[in-house]
Amino acid sequence: MTRHDAVEVITAKRDGRVLSDSQIDWVVAAYTRGEVAHEQMSALAMAILLNGMGRHEIARWTAAMIASGDRLDLSGLGRPTADKHSTGGVGDKITLPLAPLVAACGVAVPQLAGRGLGHTGGTLDKLESIPGWRAELSPREFRRQLGEVGAVICAAGDRLVPADKKLYALRDVTATVEAIPLLASSIMSKKIAGGAGALVLDVKVGSGAFLQELDRGRELARTMVELGTDAGVETVALVTDMATPLGFTAGNAIEVAESVEVLAGGGPADVVELTLTLAREMLARAGMTEVDPADRLADGSAMDVWRRMIRAQGGDPGAALPTARESYVATSPQSGVLTRLDARAVGVAAWRLGAGREQLGQPVQSGAGVVWHARPGDRVDHGQPLFTLLSDDPSRFDRALEALNTGWEVGDGVDHVPSPLIHERIEA
């Protein structure tokens, strides 16, 4: 590998020039090894945020990130593989019913997930509310479960894209998280290294999303689809709405319970719709268009895979889920139609109740969260419960209510126009 100088690379991008393949390969590898200082990579990240990268640059950066660690080989499973990634939102429990549903249709789902930070919940936090369930699997356990059960949701190992672990932490404290080239390469390096043959991306936009503007979400979706396509992975992206939270719950254990309702053939209409839409996209990318996932919800086979998946990782799918020690019910001060329910307000309230964390490594309350009893367009009466707040610590209720108080409106509903759940579909 050609050796470069960090200042040379920073200067090139600062001045708006295209980085060469060897510059990208060297700076990513050198930073991962500790040979490029944090302040130098911070400067480069800011230069990338301000001046951008071309398609080839982003693809090469992503490849260099992947090359920093191991890449999973999922060949020999005897069935196609498909993965899904969501950019995160409030009440976004879709991975939980989606993975066993797609597996029940004959496509293996290797889902490497993460923990939440801030107002968006983490998939692993939700699953860890199930008694006995463990997130950490060895590569051998991962592959065996994928072959025998067809679905795995677990933490990524330390050897999967170690460059991203360092760079992600750096971006978080240098105001460069929003750089589309770095954000796209962070997500896609891990997904490509995960080894699935097909990938469906759920890019959220709206108040509760990481990227709130539709144009920014569209740009990220297109960039990631290009990266997947260039890497030989069948990739499609859906840009979906996160102005209103998904379902009726935001928390950990309460989202697991809602996911189980979906697997049992019920559940909130929006959660069911998005789960089935993403499942159909995953199956189509994997070449399994003859199977209708709705049938697998109806006949109970998706639930069967869920139970086997939870048991395989030490969990008890029949055990009672944790519940919060305290609750508080907020009622509607008037009758009318709920015209707005702001996803960010709900997410911040759940976070303040203990369902989320401010720093990585902090514990979360499994039973904490928010249940809302109406969605935009629903009629509510004076005194009717609007929200139930759940926490082990009742002193948290006041700050959670502060977050919620500006996050909803009740009116006559004459001008209410529901937001579409899916804004756009993007493919190569």
Number of C-beta neighbours around residue 139 at 10 A: 12
Report helix, strand or coil for 425. strand
Catalytic residue among 143, 166, 171, 218: 171
What is the DSSP secondary structure assignment for residue 242, as one 8-state letter? -
Q: How far apart are the first and last CA of the chain?
A: 32
Catalytic residue flag (residue 38): no
Q: If you write DSSP's letter for every residue of 122-152 in order, what string do you get? A: PHHHHHTTSTT------HHHHHHHHHHTSEE
13-34 in b/e form (b: 16+ CB < 10 A) is bbeeeebeeebbbbbbbbbbee
Asked if residues 146 and 110 have their Cβ atoms less than 8 Å apart, the reply is yes
Catalytic residue flag (residue 204): no
Identify residue 21 by its one-letter amino acid code: D
Catalytic residue flag (residue 84): no
Q: In which residue are the tokens 């889920």 written?
A: 321
Asked if residues 277 and 114 have their Cβ atoms less than 8 Å apart, the reply is no
Catalytic residue among 4, 190, 352, 423: 190
Report helix, strand or coil for 76. coil
Asked if residues 149 and 103 have their Cβ atoms less than 8 Å apart, the reply is yes
Catalytic residue among 4, 13, 84, 85: 85
Distance CA 37, CA 127 (A): 37
Q: In which residue are the tokens 């999922």 written?
A: 74
Catalytic residue flag (residue 352): no
3-state secondary structure 245-310: CCCCEEECHHHHHHHHHHHCCCCCHHHHHHHHHHHHHHHHHCCCCCCCHHHHHHCCHHHHHHHHHH
The burial of 71, by beta-carbon neighbours within 10 Å (0-12 exposed, 13-18 middle, 19 or more buried), is given as middle
Catalytic residue among 129, 186, 189, 332: 186
Question: Tokens for 378?
Answer: 């629903």
Question: Tokens for 234?
Answer: 């069948």
Asked if residues 404 and 345 have their Cβ atoms less than 8 Å apart, the reply is yes
Report helix, strand or coil for 205. strand
212-223 in b/e form (b: 16+ CB < 10 A) is beeebbbebbbb
- The helix or strand, by DSSP H or E, that contains position 90, with its residue range, turns out to be none
Catalytic residue among 164, 202, 230, 241: 164
Q: In which residue are the tokens 């200082």 written?
A: 37
Identify residue 60 by its one-letter amino acid code: R
**Helix ranges, 34-134 (H):** 38-51, 55-67, 95-104, 123-127
Catalytic residue flag (residue 186): yes
Catalytic sites, residue numbers? 85, 164, 171, 186, 190
